Amino acid sequence: MSSVEPIAVVGGGIGGLAAALALGRAGNAVNLYEQADAFSEAGAGIGLGPNAMRVLQAWGLGPSLQEAGCAPQRLIARHADNGRIVGQLPMGQSFITAYGAPYLTVHRADLQHTLLGAVSQQTSATLLTHHHLSGLVNDTHGFELQFKDKSNTYPAHILIGADGLHSAVRTTVFDKTPPNASGHWAYRALLPMHEVPQSFRQMDIGIWMGTRLHVVHYPVRGGEFLNLVVLIESPNQASQPGWDVLRSAAQITEDLKQATHNTYAELQDLIHAVNGWRAWCLFDREPLEHPSQMVKGSVALLGDAAHPMLPYLAQGAGMAIEDAACFAMHWKNASLSAEQRLLNYAQARWQRVSRVQQRARRNGQLFHADGLLRLARDTAMKLGGARWMDMPWLYGTSN
Ligand X SMILES: Cc1cc2nc3c(=O)[nH]c(=O)nc-3n(C[C@H](O)[C@H](O)[C@H](O)COP(=O)(O)OP(=O)(O)OC[C@H]3O[C@@H](n4cnc5c(N)ncnc54)[C@H](O)[C@@H]3O)c2cc1C
With binding defined as CB under 6 A, does residue 179 bind ligand X? no
x/- track of binding to ligand X for residues 44-83 (CB under 6 A): --xx------------------------------------
CB of 82 to ligand X, least distance (A): 25
Give the other-Cβ count within 10 Å of 214's Cβ.
24
Choosing from 33, 103, 187, 218, which is the catalytic residue? 218
Q: Give the whole-angstrom CA distance, residue 260 versus residue 249.
A: 16
Considering only 119-127, 136-144, 310-318, 361-369, which stretch makes contact with ligand X by CB under 6 A? 310-318
With binding defined as CB under 6 A, does residue 303 bind ligand X? yes
Among 334, 299, 337, smallest CA distance to 160 is for: 299
With binding defined as CB under 6 A, does residue 287 bind ligand X? no
Q: Give the whole-angstrom CA distance, residue 122 versus residue 19.
A: 13
Q: Give the whole-angstrom CA distance, residue 228 versus residue 94.
A: 24
Site for ligand X in 315-344 (CB under 6 A): 315-318, 320
CB of 383 to ligand X, least distance (A): 28
Give the other-Cβ count within 10 Å of 268's Cβ.
16
Considering only 82-90, 247-255, 307-315, 361-369, which stretch makes contact with ligand X by CB under 6 A? 307-315
Alpha-carbon distances, residue 112 vs 49, 229, 313 (angstroms): 16, 20, 20
Specify whether 33 is catalytic.
no
How is the chain split among helix, strand and coil, in percent rounded to 5?
A: 40, 25, 35
305, 16 in Cβ contact below 8 A?
no
Exposure string for 324-347, b = 16+ CB within 10 A, e = fewer = bbbbbbbbeeeeeebeebbbbbbe
Q: Strand 159-161 to strand 295-296: parallel, antiparallel, or no bridges (unpaired)?
A: unpaired
The smaller minimum CB distance to ligand X, of residues 240 and 335, is found at 240
The smaller minimum CB distance to ligand X, of residues 4 and 360, is found at 360
- At 21 the three-state DSSP class reads helix
With binding defined as CB under 6 A, does residue 11 bind ligand X? yes
Helix 249-260 and helix 265-272, axial crossing angle in degrees, nearest 10: 180
CB of 323 to ligand X, least distance (A): 8
x/- track of binding to ligand X for residues 197-236 (CB under 6 A): --------------------------------x-------
- Chosen residue from 69, 102, 164, 287 binding ligand X by CB under 6 A: 164
- Chosen residue from 6, 8, 16, 111 binding ligand X by CB under 6 A: 16
The residues of the shown chain that bind ligand X, judged by CB under 6 A, are 10-16, 33-36, 46-47, 131-133, 162-165, 168, 186, 188, 229, 280, 303-305, 311, 314-318, 320
Q: Residues with catalytic annotation?
A: 218
